[in-house]
Chains A and B, each alone.
Chain A
Amino acid sequence: MSEEPLTLDAALSDEAVLSTYRRMFAALARDSGAVVDDPVLVDIAETLFTAFAEAGEEWLTHEQMRHACRAYPTDLFENRLRVLKGLGAIREVFPKPNQLRYRASFTSVVGLMFIRRMMDDGGQSEMHRLLALEDLNVADPRTTMEEARQSAVNLARAFRLWALELITLTTGTIEELREQAPKLWGTEEIARRAQGLHATILTRWPSLDRVCTDLRAAIYAYSDASRRAAGRLAESAGTTRNLTLLPTETWRTFAQTASRETLASVLDGFLFDAPAPWHDPAAIARAVDEAPRPAPAQPTPPRSALPDPGPSSVLAEPPEAAVQRLREVAESVLGGADRVALADAFGGDWPAARRLLADLTTIDLRPDLPYRLVWSEELSIDPEREPAWLSHGFLVRECS
């Protein structure tokens, strides 16, 4: 109603009621807009019928009807009354102009009772009644085989459609399943009754076994579907849903003020796994291969076996001393001459000779020293000698 604040929950439950109305009258409706779009409209009708019942043979005037529905807005009431009159649910007591008293249609009242019951249990009790009636019918000696066959076919169809609806619910959202949950209540009882009916038909008319097989299959499908739906509902009903029933503030206060002991007590006795990751040999090898690479280790160069005072003393000397030493080396090789063949200077001791050669090369590379190495094209090879290969050259003094 308009004066009440419209909450989301209220809107949702209204929508659920309306959808049931629409489904119930789908078979009769002329177009899809033919069913009420506000559950209050049905309440108005019910209030009116109650008022008619109390009024008895006095009937009701327009004013009395308005008074009975005083809780509802005038325009809503008038609109409703017009529709009810139009459809014949409320009629003039006598069909003549300016009639002031009205009566209610018995059929409409029964229809509304039926609607309310369908709303409550989704047709569950109607199915019970239908089965009870059919049971009586097939037991009646006057019932023909054709009637029994028709009855079995109808029931099979009803069960099939019902099972289909349950299957759809089971795979749909849990919210819809919960809303339609009443359809699941008492299904065992219904299936049992249906099986009883099936047995009666089959015993009395064995030739109807094909129809009965269909009926049996439909009952089983229905039982199975309802069990699945109920199972899903039961599974979801209790695992976290009730957490919504405490307000957020309660949870926050609990988290902020509860002692460590109180918090811990929630999980008392819950069994969890100890950490046990699996380290497979292949995974360990892979991890090692993917390790960030260390800087490659620098191998120490091999050392000479010769006694070697090392370069430290040389480096300790001032640069002039090194130049002076080189000059002395060059002069000692030249021995006063301006030019001397290297082959003569080296002699046979190659290890000593190569050190001398190194010094001479250094001398050659220093432009400030007046000595140069001059190499000739000549190459002598003598396997007996050391070195066996010898390229010839000269140390020459540069003329300044």
Chain B
Amino acid sequence: MGAGDAAVAHARVRAHGPLRLPAGAPAPEGMARLTFPDSTGLALGVWPDGATPALLEEHQVPPVPVERAGETRRVLAACLKCCWTDLSADPWPGSPAPLERVLGTYRALIGRTDDLMRNWAIGALRRLHDSAWIVLSDGLVRLGPRCALWPVSAHAQLKELVRRLPEPAGDDLTVVADSDLVETAPDPAGGRVEGGESAGLEDLLEGYDERHRAELVAAFMAVEHAAEPVPEARFAALRDPALRRALAQMLARRGRVLIQHRERWISGYDDGVAARLDGPLSESERAVLTLVLVHSVAIPRAEGVLPEDTWLSPHPTPVEELRRHTQVPIGELEAALRSLRHAGLLTQVKAGEEAGGYVPGPQFHRLTPAARRRLQEELILAAGPQTPLAAAVRARRAAG
């Protein structure tokens, strides 16, 4: 597998989640292979020098916000309590646990048993499933591939956490049925993690002394995981052109490029790599996102109230507008809003009881100039196909 293919694979993981590997196929360079007993597997990128996105906290760079973070993490803790049965082994893959047991554990943890608690927990489980932290199927919960990325040094902390979590208050749990379920469940006995020691960036980093190396890794993690462009004043590897070049090379291995916003930097998909991959959004998600772009960016722009040349906007699209004045069915709308919000493509703005709505989310910082331009052209082509402007766009594309 060439370096270019590995970069595309990394971009695919970033856009679509863990990469499915056929039986026996090796993981692309810079990824860990999560191998199942039948030798099929999943691949996930690993970070250089054992860093995790927790590094951002040390540099006071806010990461992409997690929706209902506390609740989601408590539910993940409950999953861990139920699925990590053998504390002498690594957390992943653990063993499957019935959904009701996880909910029971969560109930015991927060001491509430009402329906609202249950709905929240189910919502959190769904989000954890969508982000590959758990796998939810047929009433069973398994730990997801991302749990394999917890550094070994943090396992002790997790063990301690699992030990002090309360057992589910258990009479109403169908403990006997558990084993039946587990036996009928596919792929019950987990797997193992292979590789993952190397982020595939060693040759780029080895020429630097410890300090510069740490600066490069810090900047790499920051631009890849920050919610917003990172000020170059905070990272030597962004300030110094030579280090920045090395950083760009590291990112290129991941199919990424640096994107500059004045004195701030963030990373985005390399245009060439992006062209080789399908977008991850469903039709209704794309439709809803387009509607928000029209209401929050195009219309304020046309009215002259959005002076900044950006796809982010302080003008929320009211939910009522989306519900009542569009052709998107309301059921699909709600589901699409939920997943777009979770992915950071939309941000919910709350303002009082009635006002508020949605604006384009932090992911729009990560569009390259070419992608931003193309987005503008696509909107113009769709909204005003008969306008001279659309004709000009088509002519230029035909010429190019």
Q: Which residues of A contact B (CB under 8 A)?
A: 174, 235-236, 238-248, 250-252, 254-288, 290-295
Contacts and interface: CB of A to CB of B under 8 A. Distances in A.
A87 to B, nearest CB: 41
B169 to A, nearest CB: 9
A266 B285 CA distance: 12
Q: Which of B111, B130, B304, B306 has the most CB of A within 10 A?
A: B111
A236 B389 contact: no
Interface in B59-77: 63-64, 66-67, 69-74, 76-77
Given A275-B131, A294-B111, A295-B111, A269 B310 contact: no
Query: Mostly helix, strand, loop or mixed at chain B's interface?
Result: helix
A292 B77 CA distance: 15
A1 to B, nearest CB: 25
Nearest to A249: B302
B182 interface: no
Nearest to B288: A263
Contacts of A256: 325-327
Interface in B91-150: 108-112, 127, 130-133, 146, 150
B64 A260 contact: no
A292 B117 CA distance: 12
A263 B298 contact: no
A257 B291 CA distance: 11
| 4 closest A-B pairs by CB | A294-B111, A287-B73, A263-B287, A278-B53
30 contacts: A238-B373, A239-B310, A240-B301, A240-B310, A240-B311, A241-B376, A243-B297, A248-B299, A251-B298, A252-B299, A260-B283, A261-B283, A261-B287, A263-B291, A263-B382, A266-B293, A266-B378, A267-B281, A267-B375, A271-B277, A272-B281, A274-B343, A278-B225, A282-B154, A283-B69, A284-B80, A284-B161, A285-B77, A292-B111, A294-B109
Contacts of B363: 272-273
Contacts of A273: 14-15, 343-344, 363, 366
B189 interface: no
A288 B383 contact: no
Interface in B132-183: 132-133, 146, 150, 154-155, 157-158, 160-161, 165-166
Nearest to B57: A280
B314 interface: no
Contacts of B150: 281
A101 to B, nearest CB: 50
Contact of B383 (A254, A260, A283): A254
Q: Which of B14, B133, B329, B379 has the most CB of A within 10 A?
A: B379
A263 B286 contact: yes
A275 B378 CA distance: 25
B184 interface: no
Contact of A255 (B127, B280, B325): B325
A243 B302 contact: yes
Contacts of A248: 299, 302-303
A242 B302 CA distance: 9
B279 A294 contact: no
A257 B382 CA distance: 12
A276 B112 CA distance: 28
A19 B166 CA distance: 75
Interface of B: 11, 14-17, 52-54, 63-64, 66-67, 69-74, 76-77, 80, 108-112, 127, 130-133, 146, 150, 154-155, 157-158, 160-161, 165-166, 225, 269, 274-275, 277-281, 283-284, 286-291, 293-295, 297-299, 301-304, 306, 309-311, 321, 325-329, 332, 339, 342-345, 363, 366, 369, 371-380, 382-384, 387, 389
A266 B382 contact: yes
Contacts of A285: 77, 157, 160-161
Contacts of A267: 279, 281, 286, 289-290, 375, 378
A266 B298 contact: no
Contacts of A294: 108-112, 166
Contacts of B54: 278, 280, 282-283
B389 A245 contact: yes
A84 to B, nearest CB: 39
B280 A291 contact: no
B382 A270 contact: no
Given A239-B369, A280-B53, A260 B15 contact: no
Contacts of B288: 263
Nearest to A277: B66
A271 B7 CA distance: 14
B275 to A, nearest CB: 8
A271 B110 CA distance: 39
B227 to A, nearest CB: 11
B15 A274 contact: yes
A254 B383 CA distance: 5
Contacts of A281: 150, 154-155, 157-158, 161
Contacts of B157: 281-282, 285
Contacts of B327: 256-260, 263
Contacts of B332: 260
A287 B74 contact: yes
A169 to B, nearest CB: 15
Contacts of B69: 277, 283, 287
A280 B328 CA distance: 37
B303 to A, nearest CB: 6
A271 B309 contact: no
